[in-house]
Structure 1
Amino acid sequence: MRRSRAQAAALLGVAAAVLAGCLVVTARTGAPDRPQPSPSPAPSATTTAAVSWIVSGRTLGRLLATDPTGRTTARSFDTPDAYVLTGDGDWAVPDGWHSTPTASFDSYAALEAALRGNRLDPRIKAVLYDNEHWPQTPAAEQTDPVRYDRMAADLVHRHHLLFIAAPATNLVDALRPGTGAGAFDTFLSLGLAGDIARHADVLDLQAQGAEDNPALFASFVTAATAQARRANPRIKVIAGLSTNPSGRAVGAAQIDRAARAVRAIVDGYWLNDPAASAACPGCTGPYPRTALDTLRRLGQEPPETGPSGS
């Protein structure tokens, strides 16, 4: 059927409008194949529903074994905003849970090899790069963390996965040897939070070493979060917590104080409950009861009676 010139012009106008609309959406949202973290509701001091979490599969398993009903653990981690470190033949996400399965690497080289060899479990949705001043991260990656975080982010995004950056503050020992007790200030002065956040979807600030100094913990997390969000307004920021940072046992009340000091600032926390290992030879945990009590306190649940920290 022939169309009149007027009809043809009208159809061309509609097509142009649709195309223009698509271009606007692309410009606003970025590359269509780059995943985004699920949006977090506004922070709340009375519920864990708004809190994002990172947790290892081993810590999660111990929490479930310690939690009599499992409700406290599920309330925090049975959500897409909980990134559960899992994989390598030891799947840790309980059946039916909605957690985000996350693979963890402490070396860019290992991450690249895993993706090149198609060795990631197909259920993995996110990748965490834990680069630290330790033997597990190659020296070249320690002395150029911004470059390797950018490379890791680009690689992970090409595979349509979320990228979680977790640069340890002790990287400054490789960048500025002899920093010692001034690691937090040096981390900030080097601009690492902003430079690394620019390429990430989630940034974990490994602040757990300052839990016993709430003022230092809060000031570092606040300044690093501001730096990160200036560089990337869409970044989700997580603050590290630990039951035994550097082997020092910390009670749930102390962890809770540190967490609440930055609750209005960050999107959530990484709950570490490490045992002694090659990665943490000085660790004295695990302390699953302390970790569980921390979850209860942050969720304002009544604490379980009995001693904490065993």
Structure 2
Amino acid sequence: MRVLRHRIARRVGIATLAATIFALLPFTLSGAGSAHAQDIGAGPNDSSGAAGLRWIIEDQGTQDALTAMRQLDPELANAYFNNSRTNVLSMTNPPRSSVPSGWSAEAAGHYTSYGPCTKDLKGCASLSTDLASGALTAARIPVVMYDNENWNRTPAAEKADVCSAMKDFTRLAHESRLIPLMAPDQNLASPGVITDYQGGESQNWQTYLRLGLGTCAAASGAERYHIMSQPFQSYWCGGQGGACEGSEADFTNFVTQAALQAKAVNPDITMTAGLSTNPRYNVTPQALYQDSLDVGRFVDGFWLNVAGNPSNPGTGVQYLELLSGLLPHYLGDGGTLTTDFPTGATPSRASLGTAGSELTYLSSEAVPGGTVIPVGSYKFEPWTDGTSGSASLDLEVGYCTPPSCSDRTPIVSPDSWHVDVPAGDPGVTSTYTTKSSTTLPKGGPYRIYLAAHVQSAGAFNLLYNTGSNSTNMALPRPSSHPAQAQSSVMFPHRGGQLSARTPSAAPSAKFGLDQQGSSATFTSAPVLGGGDTIPAGAWEFQYWTNGSDGSAKVRLEAGYCTADCRQRTPVIDPAAGWQPALTAGARGAADPDGAFTTTDVTVLPPSDSPYRLYWTVTVESAGSFDLLYDSANAATNMATPLSLPLF
């Protein structure tokens, strides 16, 4: 049985879509949204991926994220963050620039209020106060973030009327020639702050969309909008009331629909999405990378929030390695190398105390003959214990034939890559760059190996096999392990098609809502097989309509069907009560009754495979306007709990 959801290590590729992989990159989004298309996954390793991405990274104050990243891998940090598209966010009050000397990054200040702060609001940072005192000027800090959250740093009135507060903040910023960046937090949608959960809502992102906070951010007149999406980047427990939340689908659904809300108001708005290395989110570099792939069509970049105690900036480095086209291989017990992020609670140890010894690790995954390992950077990221001394290693990387692997063929020879490793190393990287690609011979399969030859010993150990001690070697991503963008948001297209492809046509297609009982069905390509599962979870309807007055009600049905779609099996049947009320003139609106949530996992039967997804819209109560779809300017869609490769 395959559960098609967010856990990268457990996700299995779908045979019918095996070719839908890196050929889909770079992402394209034509029409009004083309400014938000990003080439995710081809980074500084080939001198292209860092270009175009926008970044927010904090430093100075509560989190010295940029400093930590520069200490671990100055080359990588420079490639991604030393440019005019990066905002180095000062968390001090008042803000002061923490852009490194000689860098071209842009300083940004962090504010939690536009109006004055009262004494009871500890940690409150007021834009109006700093402007009045002269503590803030556009010459020193050109960008100001408005981080309105459900916390004690934002006045209650601004939390209660967040849309008006964003307009006021933007007005104040523009009057002083500052660039405002709206960042209304998802916790403003917590029950009891502005409203309560409705319908099937169970997570804040669903209520955030219903409240239209993405629409408000763009309508404020701000040039930039940040989506606080990090709580949904992966599955974790311990959130609101101890709840468990987050998944790849939740992250994709939230970012996609919030970005579409904002773009419907201002097609040129600059947007970023939140990612965090905070261990509380059960985060891995692979999850951050997958999330980036999935939403790269809709946002311009990311806030890489290196937070938590410990903050584990090594996770951020490995994420950037993945963006750069590298694939980290982690040291594991039994002399293994694995591409899965380690989850152990106690670090394993490998002694560096004997000169002339060799530590050898073999990949647990087979690599087929004909695989190409591109030219580029190899990175070694060690963690060690101890408090003094150092060890000298010669590193060798190559391939061999299992099980004995006695026929080792080096790609990086041991006399080429020399590394000095100190005691207490926190994951500082060492880099070796090849001059040509390597094609593995026909036959195989092969294993990748890493051999560390201890030239001079140190009285300490390499640490590995935990998230905070994840010694690894990253190599250019082999052709046998392509990156694969996924989506959980389905768009209806002309001709009755249903697809994860973002609409790009103009003008919009129309489905008339003026006749009760009329219906339209949209079906996908045959993307599901027997044994596949459709997870339980939230389904979120986002819509565009024309007209200026009136309302209509539709009944939505979704499920799977056989190849000719004559035999349909609903996951949400017509009697389930998914009946959104639509208003005329809507642009990216969510169901006013809240998300529809299923509670049962659906397992597809082995017979009659493959299957298509279908979505039926039926008019329950008519209105004199149309549902608009299949357009860059009217991208009506259905967010689902199901993550699939783009099709």
Superposed pair shares fold, TM > 0.5: yes
> 1 CA distance for matches of 2:281 and 2:323?
21
Shift of 1:168: 0.4
- The answer on whether the counterparts of 2:88 and 2:98 sit within 8 Å (CA) in structure 1 is yes
- The answer on whether the counterparts of 1:40 and 1:50 sit within 8 Å (CA) in structure 2 is no
Q: Deviations over 1:125-149 (max 9, x none)?
A: 1100101011111111111111111
After superposition, residues 1-310 of structure 1 pair within 5 angstroms as 42-45=37-40, 46=42, 47-57=49-59, 58-67=64-73, 70-86=74-90, 88=94, 91-109=97-115, 110-120=126-136, 122-173=139-190, 174-177=193-196, 181-198=202-219, 199-212=221-234, 213-244=247-278, 247-275=280-308, 284-301=309-326, 303=328, 304-306=380-382, 307=464, 309=468
Q: Deviations over 1:211-237 (max 9, x none)?
A: 110111111111111110001111011
Shift of 1:50: 1.4
Shift of 1:265: 1.5
Q: Deviations over 1:86-121 (max 9, x none)?
A: 264754211110101001111222111001111025
Structure 2 unaligned residues grouped into runs of 5+: 1-33, 43-48, 116-125, 235-246, 329-379, 383-463, 470-647
- Aligned to 1:53, what secondary structure does the other structure show? strand
Q: Give, as a single letter, the amino acid of the residue that structure 1 aligns with 2:317.
A: L
Distance 1:302 1:71, change over 3 A: farther
Shift of 1:177: 4.1
TM-score norm. by structure 1 comes to 0.79
- The answer on whether the counterparts of 1:273 and 1:285 sit within 8 Å (CA) in structure 2 is no
- Aligned to 1:108, what secondary structure does the other structure show? coil
Q: Give, as a single letter, the amino acid of the residue that structure 1 aligns with 2:108.
A: T
Shift of 1:41: 8.2
Shift of 1:52: 0.2
Q: Give, as a single letter, the amino acid of the residue that structure 1 aligns with 2:232.
A: A
Distance 1:270 1:80, change over 3 A: same
> 1 CA distance for matches of 2:36 and 2:217?
24
Distance 1:89 1:237, change over 3 A: closer
> 2 CA distance for matches of 1:85 and 1:206?
15
173-182 vs 285-294, which moves further: 173-182
Shift of 1:302: 5.3
Structure 1 unaligned residues grouped into runs of 5+: 1-38, 276-283
- The answer on whether the counterparts of 1:251 and 1:309 sit within 8 Å (CA) in structure 2 is no
Q: Give the structure with the higher percent helix.
A: 1
Shift of 1:244: 1.6
- The answer on whether the counterparts of 1:194 and 1:232 sit within 8 Å (CA) in structure 2 is no
> 2 CA distance for matches of 1:285 and 1:147?
37
Q: Give, as a single letter, the amino acid of the residue that structure 1 aligns with 2:75.
A: R
> 2 CA distance for matches of 1:50 and 1:41?
9
Q: Deviations over 1:38-91 (max 9, x none)?
A: x96851122121110011011111111121xx1110111111110111264754
Q: Deviations over 1:235-270 (max 9, x none)?
A: 01101000127x234111111111111012110000
Identity in percent: 30
- Aligned to 1:181, what secondary structure does the other structure show? coil
- The answer on whether the counterparts of 1:193 and 1:228 sit within 8 Å (CA) in structure 2 is yes
Larger Rg: 2
> 2 CA distance for matches of 1:137 and 1:113?
14
> 2 CA distance for matches of 1:164 and 1:195?
13
- The answer on whether the counterparts of 1:61 and 1:92 sit within 8 Å (CA) in structure 2 is no
> 1 CA distance for matches of 2:146 and 2:276?
18
TM-score norm. by structure 2 comes to 0.39
Q: Give the structure with the higher percent strand.
A: 2
> 2 CA distance for matches of 1:211 and 1:235?
23
> 1 CA distance for matches of 2:36 and 2:147?
26
Aligned length: 261
Shift of 1:285: 3.0
